[in-house]
Structure 1
Amino acid sequence: MKLKSLLIANAVLLGSFALQAHAEDEAQLIKQGEYLSRLGDCMACHTVSGQGDYAGGLAIESNLGTIYSTNITPDKEHGIGNYSEQQFSDAVRKGVLPNGSRLYPAMPYPDYAKISDADMHALYVYFMKGVKPSSEQPPETDLSFPFSQRWGMRFWNWAFTSDKPFQPIGGASEEVNRGAYIVESLGHCGSCHTPRGLGMNEKALDSGDDQFLAGGSLNSWDVPSLRGLPRWSEQEIVDYLQTGRNDKAAVGGEMKSVIEHSSSHMTDADLKAIASYLKFLGGNPALQAYDVKKQQATEAKLTAAKGLSEGERLYIDNCGACHFVTGKGAPGIFPELDQATIVNAKDPGGLIHTILAGAQQPSTEKAPSTLAMPGFAKRLDDDQVAKLATFIRQGWSNNAPAVKKDQVAEVRKTLKGE
């Protein structure tokens, strides 16, 4: 009897250890999955201010119409609580729901297709056991015909997506390949920074094609190339992703949400890996030859404040206090205008929007202050904004086309009370 009791006690003890080990493994997976969800920027698209995390309902404007993000909490009626792990993986990596319905590629599954099986498992455990269920019912996406016919996405996927797993770059360092994995899969950087084809598809899905991360357009903003980033050091790339600012630039547009919800939560090692990968890509020549004499001439004229054009006067009155007569701003505080990407973009929409609506940097752990630029929509009319933007695009060493007041009027229509 004593032996039997001892065996029972040992079995109970072993069972207790096994349960504890399972709980510890599950807790670690939940923690890992939460971090991976930050790498994937899931929060930005599936969370609306004032509602539960991942409850969906964000209105995503596209060329096809408004697409609403879905509830991805483990609620069994309105969320994904009934999904098996395979169904979860198919939705994330293939854009296919359990009922066979197809997602629109506003969900970046063409990029998520490269997520590893191990990372997918951790994500599944996190969303099923680490996220609070929400019964929130987001609005239904209702696009006009023929885009409302989701079955047609089957042919789009056949033409423009790939089920090929992530391919490490031969001969590249472990750090560069870690950065490549993040950028090409979870980070889905190509969904904005890679040019789109006639089918609104990303023209390239990995670094094997020079078009990958070569720049594009999003909501009338020119999206810059990330290949090489010749004007930025690796540390400046890290600083920008971690805080939304560096010594040359400050975040604006859609990228603000990426910084706030995703990259500011990444580890230093992953941010350095991303920076190493982007510098490794190369292939992005400098914006333009730096014209020292032209820069000095603009600075001297603004300093003397004599014989100013209306654009130059508007700059002195509205912008000079922060960006200075040098156009260099203040490192880490006010961004440079001389040679800035947004200033020299082919489409001036981003610069116009910033002048009209202003901008505010996100609060992050490494940079909690929220520095803001005021908008001038109420202070300046379309003609004044056009002249101001033209001066900025052609002053110092900048050399971009002039801005017309009609272009300003079009951007003003999109402000929606900003």
Structure 2
Amino acid sequence: MNARRVSAGVAAAAALLCVAAWAVAQKAEEPAPAAVTTTAAVPAAATDPVLEHGRYLARAGDCVSCHTAPGKPAFGGGLPMKTPFGTIVSTNISPDPEAGIGAYTEAEFARALREGVAKDGHRLYPAMPYTSFARVNDEDMHALFVFFRNGVQPVAQKPLPTKLPWPFSMRGLMMGWNWLYLDKGVYQPDAARSAEWNRGAYLVQGLGHCGDCHTPRSMLGGVKAATDKKGELFLSGAIIDGWYAQPLRHTDRPTMAQWSSEDIVQYLQTGRTGHTAAFGAMVDVVQNSTQHMSTQDLQAVASYLQSLGARPDAASAPPTPSQASLVAAAPQHPTALALRNGTVEGNSGAMVYLNNCNACHRSDGTGANKTFPALAGNSVVNAKDPTSLIRLVLAGSTMPSTTQAPSPIAMPDFGWRLTDADVASVLSFARSSWGNQGEAVTAAQVAKVRESLKPVAAAKAN
């Protein structure tokens, strides 16, 4: 990005400061929607291959999760997203001509998705990931238009408008933000890569908009690297929704990029593998989006992710231990032997583990296949940022319910019975046991996450 572009963009965008922070669609206080099934408006249209392709693409883009309020018709909008700058309400994208997008032409539809400009010309906030959707090609954009025009039941109710306080209400300021962060142009295949790799890159960078959650952002809310060609920050992990969205590329710690293609596909289809499980925002992603994608497309996604951050000299460099290797060695690890023999200190993290975690995750930290995630080698346990791990212990989580794995197995919350010091000690123990190499967790870190959960608990109570 040249200096002229930066200075011109900052001049308009500086007034936003962090208004685009919710470009990552922070929804820490919103009620989590259940899995939603779209309803066709015209049954006969189901035989239209273009419409069905559009339906598939809408699922790949997970449009329904943000544009459907809990208990309301699909794509009718109205989902409130509370942010530090006010509440953003998702719009109605059903084909109703008054309340929805039924009056949009195909060109206007494409402009909204690729440039963030509505039919009447007002700028959309980047909670709508148009910076990623800009990469969608013309054929797929046409199929999406056909689906939303003919394959969705019109919803006549118009959601409440988004009213942010000044200056965040000045949508025109988004022109400066777009100058900095919107790269126009559909995805261009890399001739040096395979067709499978390019398909995976197209899905991850475009409709999947994975970078919108898994890539860190600047002060102005734009992702620091929009594609793999923009640098190693792409998909390197970021805080979103009060969770730490894990790195999806090779790093110096265990990540999904080390998994086998089979495990990545299984995780995206079911929300679980033999050693780990989805939590947080990924529960909705799996339920409403990736479980509906073809195995071939998910294999392409795996191929692309496995290539990110892979070193050409990897054969000569010390390899980062994989979760599979740590799980295999865990039963004979000194930690496992000490737990089995009961040779642990009374007030230690090991004792907290024995009393609260051992029954499910076992003394060797290997858990139970597709039921209780393994802690040995787990990317969440080893992450540089322990936010997600702390939140899981304090508030618990529930696995997705999918066609292939319908049981929504849950981890209970322990925040009610463990002090901040207890949580810090047991997590520090887990992050340094069975071959794990995570840093110690402090009671102050736990207290910070506990405080952030109070608004979430209040929202659920209401």
Q: Fold-level match, TM-score > 0.5?
A: yes
**Are the equivalent residues in 1 in contact too, given 2:111–2:118 (CA < 8 A)?**
yes
Q: Which residue of 2 aligns with 1:216?
A: 238
**Are the equivalent residues in 1 in contact too, given 2:51–2:144 (CA < 8 A)?**
yes
Q: Cα distance, 1:64 vs. partner?
A: 4.0
Q: Which residue of 2 aligns with 1:379?
A: 417
Letter in 2 for 1:140: P
Task: Between 303-312 and 182-191, report the one with greater CA deviation.
Answer: 303-312
Q: Whose Rg is larger?
A: 1
Q: Cα distance, 1:62 vs. partner?
A: 4.5
Distance 1:24-1:250 versus aligned 2 partners, 3 A rule = closer
In the alignment, the residues of structure 1 paired with residue 138 and residue 162 of structure 2 have an alpha-carbon distance, to the nearest angstrom, of 30
Q: Which residue of 1 aligns with 2:59?
A: 38
Q: Which residue of 2 aligns with 1:318?
A: 356
Q: Which residue of 2 aligns with 1:266?
A: 293
- Name the SS for the 1:413 alignment partner: helix
Per-residue Cα deviation, 1:310-353 (whole angstroms, up to 9, x for no partner): 32111111111111111111222211212222112222221111
In the alignment, the residues of structure 2 paired with residue 384 and residue 281 of structure 1 have an alpha-carbon distance, to the nearest angstrom, of 37
Q: Which residue of 1 aligns with 2:99?
A: 78
Per-residue Cα deviation, 1:77-133 (whole angstroms, up to 9, x for no partner): 221111111111111111001111111111100000011111111111111111111
In the alignment, the residues of structure 2 paired with residue 46 and residue 245 of structure 1 have an alpha-carbon distance, to the nearest angstrom, of 26
Give the alignment partner of residue 97 of structure 1, picking from 118, 121, 126. 118
Q: Which residue of 1 aligns with 2:282?
A: 255
In the alignment, the residues of structure 1 paired with residue 419 and residue 149 of structure 2 have an alpha-carbon distance, to the nearest angstrom, of 52
In the alignment, the residues of structure 1 paired with residue 107 and residue 94 of structure 2 have an alpha-carbon distance, to the nearest angstrom, of 17
Gaps of 5+ in 1: 1-22
Distance 1:390-1:105 versus aligned 2 partners, 3 A rule = same
Give the alignment partner of residue 277 of structure 1, picking from 288, 292, 304. 304
**Are the equivalent residues in 1 in contact too, given 2:45–2:151 (CA < 8 A)?**
no
- Name the SS for the 2:75 alignment partner: coil
**Are the equivalent residues in 2 in contact too, given 1:220–1:347 (CA < 8 A)?**
no
Q: Cα distance, 1:251 vs. partner?
A: 0.3
- Name the SS for the 1:336 alignment partner: coil
Q: Which aligned pairs between 1:35-184 and structure 2 lie closer than 5 A?
A: 35-62=56-83, 64-184=85-205
In the alignment, the residues of structure 1 paired with residue 443 and residue 163 of structure 2 have an alpha-carbon distance, to the nearest angstrom, of 35
In the alignment, the residues of structure 2 paired with residue 139 and residue 221 of structure 1 have an alpha-carbon distance, to the nearest angstrom, of 28
**Are the equivalent residues in 1 in contact too, given 2:46–2:52 (CA < 8 A)?**
no
Q: Which residue of 1 aligns with 2:6?
A: none
Per-residue Cα deviation, 1:252-300 (whole angstroms, up to 9, x for no partner): 1111111111000001111111111111334378656988699712111
1:301 aligns with 2:377: no
Per-residue Cα deviation, 1:60-79 (whole angstroms, up to 9, x for no partner): 34564432211111122221
Structure of greater relative contact order (alpha carbons < 8 Å, 6+ residues apart): 2
**Are the equivalent residues in 1 in contact too, given 2:91–2:159 (CA < 8 A)?**
yes
Task: Between 75-84 and 58-67, report the one with greater CA deviation.
Answer: 58-67
Q: Cα distance, 1:179 vs. partner?
A: 1.0
- Name the SS for the 1:72 alignment partner: coil
In the alignment, the residues of structure 1 paired with residue 155 and residue 242 of structure 2 have an alpha-carbon distance, to the nearest angstrom, of 34
In the alignment, the residues of structure 1 paired with residue 363 and residue 225 of structure 2 have an alpha-carbon distance, to the nearest angstrom, of 41
Q: Which residue of 2 aligns with 1:185?
A: 206
**Are the equivalent residues in 2 in contact too, given 1:221–1:347 (CA < 8 A)?**
no
Q: Which residue of 1 aligns with 2:263?
A: 236
Q: Which residue of 1 aligns with 2:452?
A: 414
In the alignment, the residues of structure 2 paired with residue 329 and residue 293 of structure 1 have an alpha-carbon distance, to the nearest angstrom, of 11
In the alignment, the residues of structure 2 paired with residue 155 and residue 44 of structure 1 have an alpha-carbon distance, to the nearest angstrom, of 28
**Are the equivalent residues in 1 in contact too, given 2:344–2:351 (CA < 8 A)?**
no
In the alignment, the residues of structure 1 paired with residue 172 and residue 257 of structure 2 have an alpha-carbon distance, to the nearest angstrom, of 43
Q: Which residue of 2 aligns with 1:8?
A: none
Letter in 2 for 1:222: Y
Distance 1:67-1:101 versus aligned 2 partners, 3 A rule = same
Q: Which residue of 2 aligns with 1:392?
A: 430
In the alignment, the residues of structure 2 paired with residue 241 and residue 32 of structure 1 have an alpha-carbon distance, to the nearest angstrom, of 20
- Name the SS for the 1:137 alignment partner: coil
- Name the SS for the 1:338 alignment partner: coil
Distance 1:255-1:293 versus aligned 2 partners, 3 A rule = closer
- Name the SS for the 1:66 alignment partner: strand
Letter in 2 for 1:260: Q
**Are the equivalent residues in 2 in contact too, given 1:243–1:362 (CA < 8 A)?**
yes
Letter in 1 for 2:106: E
Task: Between 296-305 and 106-115, report the one with greater CA deviation.
Answer: 296-305
In the alignment, the residues of structure 1 paired with residue 198 and residue 296 of structure 2 have an alpha-carbon distance, to the nearest angstrom, of 12
Task: Between 296-305 and 284-293, report the one with greater CA deviation.
Answer: 284-293
In the alignment, the residues of structure 2 paired with residue 389 and residue 225 of structure 1 have an alpha-carbon distance, to the nearest angstrom, of 20
Letter in 1 for 2:101: I
Letter in 1 for 2:220: G
**Are the equivalent residues in 2 in contact too, given 1:249–1:334 (CA < 8 A)?**
yes
In the alignment, the residues of structure 2 paired with residue 200 and residue 163 of structure 1 have an alpha-carbon distance, to the nearest angstrom, of 18
Gaps of 5+ in 2: 1-43, 251-255
- Name the SS for the 2:244 alignment partner: strand
- Name the SS for the 1:202 alignment partner: coil
Question: How does the TM-score come out when normalised to structure 2?
Answer: 0.80
**How many residues are paired up?**
396
**Are the equivalent residues in 1 in contact too, given 2:271–2:283 (CA < 8 A)?**
yes
RMSD: 2.3
Per-residue Cα deviation, 1:11-58 (whole angstroms, up to 9, x for no partner): xxxxxxxxxxxx879822221111110011101111122100011122
1:348 aligns with 2:386: yes
Give the alignment partner of residue 377 of structure 2, picking from 339, 360, 364. 339
